[in-house]
Structure 1
């Protein structure tokens, strides 16, 4: 503890966001540049000597949070960076993108605002890069073993980096033209600027990891052929099979999946396109789905200049405080009213005048979509539902809709490329790849990690799975492993 009384004398202060009117005119990260470091040491002082740090259990990576909080409060940034990287390959990703279950499990959060763990993590990671505390760590010698990692999202990258660092020759196969998975083409620039990703990829290349982009395993190269060329294969393709909306009018032009819309906007930012063919500029946009992907669509549509944007959430408007019966401390409160940067922007700009809060309509279920004579969507009909999702009489309404985006989540790995079927992988009842306690599939030498095996989850769980599967593969190849395995394939977040 840098300050034994810090949690009593210092209020919580978060990284301030730039003014809404300023940030919606660009695609830079929403936070005030340079405003985090002046406040973060005092915020780290709020970490208590709590005896049993439940933040460890709430974080699947097992981050050494009290240790690096103490080091930051003393401004020992090198030691803090060492502690942070001991458990997390990519803290600058999680410090920006993770919803911070660690903060939900903070002991201080029992009756006060939690320690700003996520902000502290981000500050350490950024300082580590600025000060040169994150150099490449190539192996001292090679093992002679080869591993193919299929997929370059956070799970695949974490597995590849861990396996490369212990001496295996690793090649990462990615079907897109650049590595990064959804961090590249799914996450908007205003949530994480891509130079953070590029910096880590450059580090991995310097360590010896090979990248094979524009290569869909199962289509561009046969899955069985690939398996025959490597001593082990890790499948980390994510859960990219999206959920559909089975309502009349789904076939109309102008109705798209979120993961058709967001990548095009990101490609504009990458310089691949001048404008997105699905741009929301001047259009009435309705986003169906109340999760993070829907919020990413919201912030993107606002920046593209939509005429209006409304987000539909089938759940009722949640409360501002944790429900101790359904989400008791230290579990992560799923149903809690949160105001993301995108929702703050939409609320201030009044993009949805009919919304219940910010740009969202809660307890809203889509009945049908109507179009014009050319077959283009023009309106959306919805109804309010009760807690059991039954329509409430007399609550129907119609919204103008030129662009409808489906952000309903994902069911499991996309099987269109043929990877799963060519290898003959067993699937579990949820539609994800079946695994044993050691992350191994039914095919010898083939392992599965991340959302492909777990199902749709958080970035912090993906990185934890990547680290754990690396330990399993290392043991498979050498008979033992000193790599950390923070979680098992059947571990789940704390819940009642």
Structure 2
């Protein structure tokens, strides 16, 4: 969005809450998937073209939203779906449980700087990852590369078939089991797939000092709800079992935008806690405030962030100028 609006001739400033720009590109995606010199190169090009970047600016906390609204002709909120889904199980307060992006951020900062402040070092430790998506896979790959003693990945849903089922023909999206780089590396190191399907955490078990030592899991089975017809994963009585865990990394997805940002600007949220806009629009309920990306559509892909950034830039340009010739 900043790139497009700057090329149109607007004076653009980007406020970033972290110490480096890039959001999830910088700290949520490990270096082995996206080397950070790519982001640094793009930042340098944009700065030379006139875009201003202000880092360590946590708008809604260290920077007042009211000041930004007052000082600028238009504001775009592109703060991501950064409210992580938690696991509410007994023993959640144990030491050694981290949200996935927090763990990945600490790891990336250590790789970039060599400093160990706040670094979560999984070398020689038993690691349990909760969640089967891309972020969970990144946690698996990172723990393997750090030299973890064991890595287990917990998935609630049943394992998908290795090949297309009869009711999933081309050109439908293939609903098949995907083994990504993290799982491939775990298989190469430990000799087995790290994933446990149809299971969830029942309890986090710590020692007397409060340090996590084990997790109690319970097996799940799919059952159709008689009223709604929805397929729910329900616990199988008596199926509990324990596995060792020095660290648990929660990669269970995101619930939407962090509410302090939305409250600071006074924008309305929808039922999914994303910033509300009219269908096909990026304008929020507050005058001259727009939104785009995960904050607008919910947790999604980088390519959708790029797409929405271009679309919101076009809408902001038209709002400011009365017309737009942005693509």
TM-score bracket, shorter-length normalisation: over 0.9
TM-score (normalised: structure 1): 0.62
Query: Following TM superposition, by how much is the alpha carbon of 1:392 offset from its aligned partner in structure 2, in angstroms?
Result: 2.5
1:20 is aligned to: none
Cα distance in 1 between the residues matched to 2:164 and 2:326: 37
Cα distance in 2 between the residues matched to 1:345 and 1:478: 52
> Normalized per residue, which structure has more strand?
2
CA RMSD of aligned residues (A): 1.5
Cα distance in 1 between the residues matched to 2:284 and 2:155: 36
Give the unaligned 5+ runs of structure 1: 1-158, 485-496
2:250 is aligned to: 406
Query: Following TM superposition, by how much is the alpha carbon of 1:297 offset from its aligned partner in structure 2, in angstroms?
Result: 0.5
1:259 is aligned to: 101
1:217 aligns with one of 59, 63, 66? 59
Query: Following TM superposition, by how much is the alpha carbon of 1:391 offset from its aligned partner in structure 2, in angstroms?
Result: 1.9
What is the CA deviation profile of residues 215-260 of structure 1, one whole-angstrom value per residue up to 9, with x for unaligned ones? 0111222111111111100000000000010110111011111122
1:338 is aligned to: 178
1:362 is aligned to: 197
Cα distance in 1 between the residues matched to 2:131 and 2:298: 18
1:385 aligns with one of 197, 220, 231? 220
Contact 2:110 2:116 (C-alpha < 8 Å) held by counterparts: yes
Query: Following TM superposition, by how much is the alpha carbon of 1:190 offset from its aligned partner in structure 2, in angstroms?
Result: 0.8
Query: Following TM superposition, by how much is the alpha carbon of 1:324 offset from its aligned partner in structure 2, in angstroms?
Result: 5.8
Query: Following TM superposition, by how much is the alpha carbon of 1:420 offset from its aligned partner in structure 2, in angstroms?
Result: 1.5
> Normalized per residue, which structure has more helix?
1
Query: Following TM superposition, by how much is the alpha carbon of 1:422 offset from its aligned partner in structure 2, in angstroms?
Result: 2.4
Cα distance in 2 between the residues matched to 1:324 and 1:454: 32
Could you say what secondary structure the match of 1:180 adopts? coil
Distance 1:230-1:275 versus aligned 2 partners, 3 A rule = closer
Cα distance in 1 between the residues matched to 2:169 and 2:298: 24
Could you say what secondary structure the match of 1:178 adopts? coil
Cα distance in 2 between the residues matched to 1:407 and 1:425: 27
Query: Following TM superposition, by how much is the alpha carbon of 1:198 offset from its aligned partner in structure 2, in angstroms?
Result: 1.2
What is the CA deviation profile of residues 427-453 of structure 1, one whole-angstrom value per residue up to 9, with x for unaligned ones? 101111001232100111100000001
Say yes or no: does 1:375 pair with 2:219: no
Cα distance in 1 between the residues matched to 2:18 and 2:3: 19
Choose between structure 1 and 2 for higher RCO, CA contacts under 8 A separated by at least 6 residues.
2
1:347 aligns with one of 187, 195, 198? 187
Cα distance in 2 between the residues matched to 1:454 and 1:214: 25
Query: Following TM superposition, by how much is the alpha carbon of 1:272 offset from its aligned partner in structure 2, in angstroms?
Result: 5.4
2:286 is aligned to: 443
Cα distance in 2 between the residues matched to 1:413 and 1:332: 28
Contact 2:215 2:242 (C-alpha < 8 Å) held by counterparts: yes
TM-score (normalised: structure 2): 0.93
Could you say what secondary structure the match of 1:225 adopts? helix
Give 4+ residue runs of structure 1 displaced > 6 Å after superposition.
none
Query: Following TM superposition, by how much is the alpha carbon of 1:479 offset from its aligned partner in structure 2, in angstroms?
Result: 1.0
Could you say what secondary structure the match of 1:390 adopts? strand
1:474 is aligned to: 317
Say yes or no: does 1:235 pair with 2:70: no
Cα distance in 2 between the residues matched to 1:430 and 1:331: 27
Where do residues 8-157 of structure 1 align in structure 2 (5 Å cutoff)?
Answer: none
Contact 2:110 2:119 (C-alpha < 8 Å) held by counterparts: no
